[in-house]
Homo-oligomer: A and B are copies of this chain.
Amino acid sequence: MARDIVPAAYWGFIKDPIYGYIRLNDVEKTIIDTLAVQRLRRIRQLAGAEYVYPAANHTRFEHVLGAMYLAGVVTENLPVSLSKDEKQEVRLAALLHDVGHAPFSHLFEPLLVKHLNRTHEDVSTWIIANSALSDVIRTLGFDPKELSELAIGRLVKTDKPFLNQIISSSFDVDKMDFVVRDSYHTGAGYGSVDVFRLIYTMDVVKGNLAADITALPTLESLILARLESFRTIYFHRACRAVQMMLLQALDLAKDDLAILKTKNPDEYLEWDDYTVWSKLCTNPHSREIIKALSERRILKCAYERTFFAKDELLSSVFTKENVRLKLEEEIAAKAHVPTSDVGIDVPSLPSVPYHYAMEIGPISIPIFSRSRSGEKVSQNINELSKIVDVLRVFMNIVRVYTKSQYREHVAAAAAEVLGKSSLSSALSY
C-alpha cells in the first residue's frame, strides 16, 4: 500500500522501562514528533486510577510506543513473508491506534459518542485520514486512509486478516502492552505476562493470527491478567468512584468544553487532560466536584453485588442508560435522597477503562497444533481452555454509589430494589 520512497534509516532509540530500548527509524521519529502523537503525553492511560494507585500516572504516549515496539517484534518473528512496507505499516498502525483518545481516555467516551457521535476509534480514523498528520504520512510515502483503517484493525483491502489482528484482536499488541504497563505503573502485581513467549510462537493459520498450543498457558495468563487488572484497577471500587465524579463534572461543564463541538480533527487535538482539567476547575458547575476530588472526598459504594449466573448477563441490561436512570430514581426515592446523588455502575459502561477489551461474548483465538504430518490444525481457545470460559461471570457486577452521608440509606434502598448483597468493609485506599 505504500511505496518505498527512500528506505527508512535507523534513527536512534527511546528508553522504556518495560522493554528497555525501543529503536526507531526516521519515518517513525517523524510521525512521533507530530502534534497528534505528542499530545498523548497529556492523556493519562488510567484517569482516576491514581486515587488508588498513586504511581499510575502513565500516559497514552508511552503506551503507543510500546504497542509499536511489540508490533515490530511480531512482524519480525511471524514465520510468514511480509514486505518491508507491510512491516512498517503495522508498526505505524500500532503507533497511531490511540491518537483519537479524548482527554481522560475512556472516561470521556460516553461524551464523545453523545456529542460527536464517534467512538475514540472513529476519531483515530478521522485524525489519521484528515488532519495535519495525514500530510506528514503522505509525504513519507504512506496512504493515510489505509493506515487509518489498519490503526483500528479494520483494513478492508487485504488478503491478510492477521495484519488487522496484530492491531486488534483478543491477543493484540494493544492488550499485551497495556496489561504489562498498567501493572508496572500501578505496582498491582499482576500482569507479569510472558508476552514474548506468545509472540515467538505465533503463526498464521488460514490467514488468521494463531497461537501455538505450547503457548496456551501463556495466553491464559494474558487473559487472566486482564481479568485481574480489571478487578483490581479498571473496575476498582474507589477508582470508579473518582471516575464517576469526573464524568459528572464533565457533563456539568460541557458547555465550556469546545472539544464537544469540534468540526475538524486539528481543533479536537487542542484538548487534553491539562486543558480540560483547568476548565473543570474554573467552570462554576463542575468546580464543587473538583474541589471534592482535590481533598479526596469521593463517592462511596453503598451496594455491590456479583451475579454468578452466566445467562443473566445483567451487566448488559444495565448498560442501557434509561434502565439505569429508572433504577437510580427508584433507589433515591426509597432512600429519600436526591436522584443526582445515586449512581449505578456496571463494568460494561463505555467509561470503564478497557471495557471493550473485556469481551462479554466468547473470546476467539485460534490455537494451532501440528498433526503427525506437520500440518497446522487449529481450534478455538474455547474448546481447549476452561479458564477462558469462566471469565464472563466477572462482568456481572452491579454497584450503587452515593455521597458519604447517604451511604446507610442508599444501601438499604438498593438492597430492596436490587436484592440482598454483602460488602466487605476492609479498608483500602
Q: Which of A24, A274, A297 has the most CB of B within 10 A?
A: A274
Q: Which of A54, A201, A429 has the most CB of B within 10 A?
A: A54
Instruction: Find the B residue at minimum CB distance from A77.
Output: B23
Tell whether A386 pairs with B377 under 8 Å between CB atoms, given A34-B295, A424-B369. Answer: no
The residue that A221 contacts in the complex, of B11, B201, B228, B372, with Cβ under 8 A, is: B228
Give chain B residues whose Cβ lies under 8 Å from the Cβ of A194: 20, 188-190
Q: Does A426 contact B214, Cβ atoms closer than 8 Å?
A: yes
The residue that A187 contacts in the complex, of B20, B411, B422, B424, with Cβ under 8 A, is: B20
Complex: A221 Cα to B416 Cα, angstroms: 34
Tell whether A212 pairs with B424 under 8 Å between CB atoms, given A58-B57, A232-B217, A278-B274. Answer: yes
A298 to chain B, nearest CB (A): 10
Tell whether A188 pairs with B15 under 8 Å between CB atoms, given A277-B274, A389-B390, A393-B386. Answer: yes
The residue that A274 contacts in the complex, of B59, B190, B273, B387, with Cβ under 8 A, is: B273
Q: Report if A374 contacts B (CB, 8 A).
A: yes
A241 to chain B, nearest CB (A): 14
Q: Does A17 contact B426, Cβ atoms closer than 8 Å?
A: no
Complex: A233 Cα to B294 Cα, angstroms: 30
Instruction: Find the B residue at minimum CB distance from A296.
Output: B33
For this chain, the copies found in one complex come to 4
Complex: A386 Cα to B395 Cα, angstroms: 13
Stretch at the interface among A35-43, A90-98, A324-332: A35-43
Give chain B residues whose Cβ lies under 8 Å from the Cβ of A185: 17, 55, 185
Q: Report if A83 contacts B (CB, 8 A).
A: no
Tell me the A198-232 residues at the B interface (CB within 8 Å): 200-201, 212-214, 217-218, 220-221, 224, 228, 231-232
Instruction: Find the B residue at minimum CB distance from A376.
Output: B424
Complex: A53 Cα to B192 Cα, angstroms: 18
Q: Does B189 contact A197, Cβ atoms closer than 8 Å?
A: yes
Q: Report if A14 contacts B (CB, 8 A).
A: yes
Q: Report if A62 contacts B (CB, 8 A).
A: yes
Complex: A190 Cα to B219 Cα, angstroms: 12
User: Can you name 17 extra interface pairs (CB under 8 A) apart from A275-B281, A372-B411, A387-B387?
Assistant: A12-B427, A13-B428, A15-B53, A16-B187, A18-B187, A20-B194, A33-B297, A55-B185, A57-B59, A189-B197, A190-B194, A201-B426, A220-B228, A221-B224, A275-B277, A308-B386, A369-B423
Some 30 contacts from A to B, beta carbons below 8 A apart, are: A13-B200, A14-B54, A15-B53, A17-B55, A21-B200, A34-B295, A38-B294, A38-B295, A42-B277, A54-B61, A55-B58, A57-B62, A185-B185, A188-B194, A212-B424, A212-B426, A213-B424, A217-B228, A274-B277, A274-B281, A275-B278, A277-B278, A368-B424, A369-B423, A370-B424, A371-B422, A372-B411, A386-B390, A387-B387, A390-B390
